[in-house]
Amino acid sequence: MYGLDTNVLIRYLLRDDLMQAEQARVAIENAGQTGEPVVVSLLTMLESEWVLRSCASIDKRIIITTFRMLLEARDIRIEQEGTLEEALYLYENNSADFADCLMATRYTRLGCSAMLTFDKKAAQLPGVVAVSAAH
């Protein structure tokens, strides 16, 4: 198995550097053909969302669609696919940041009763509780 660094995934997705994009594509396809799957960690997904949104100015809807396409790609495996799917659902249907949606989902799956936050948008997510001065 091979794990993808964020920079390889970003080149693969954005194709903003044609040589590196082609190298990333070939590496991913070759890995799949040789039976050594390419794995993308949740941390890589988190960092990739930030790069796509902040650096490449990609719209939230396009990021969600792109990540869902990655979940369906035959040559790419996503760490804890269910966690990412649930986080994408929350991200699509709430105003919270992707990072908060991913963290809330991960904490729930770890068995936490809630994620504590000061972030008002994140506090609207299921399984997230706002920390107040009263706590």
DSSP symbols for 90-114: HHHHSSS-HHHHHHHHHHHHTT-S-
What distance separates the 2 farthest-apart alpha carbons in the chain? 57
pLDDT, averaged across the chain: 95
Q: Exposed/middle/buried for 39, CB within 10 Å: 0-12, 13-18, 19+?
A: middle
**Residue 123: helix, strand or coil by DSSP?**
helix
Closest C-alpha among 98, 94, 100, 93 to residue 119: 100
Q: How confident is the model at residue 134 (pLDDT cuts 50, 70, 90)?
A: very low
Q: What value does the mean pLDDT take over residues 102-113?
A: 97
At residue 40, the pLDDT reads 98
At residue 35, the pLDDT reads 86
At residue 37, the pLDDT reads 86
At residue 135, the pLDDT reads 52
Q: How confident is the model at residue 67 (pLDDT cuts 50, 70, 90)?
A: very high
Closest C-alpha among 127, 54, 120 to residue 89: 127
Q: What is the rounded distance in angstroms from the CA atom of residue 1 to the CA atom of residue 39?
A: 7
pTM of the full predicted structure? 0.91
Q: Which residues of 49-79 are buried (b: 16+ CB within 10 A; e: fewer)?
A: bebbbeeeebeeeebbebbeebbeeeebbbe
- From the CB of residue 106, how many other CB atoms can be counted at a distance below 10 Å? 18
At residue 13, the pLDDT reads 97
Q: Indicate the range of 23-32, 56-65, 76-85 predicted with least confidence.
A: 23-32
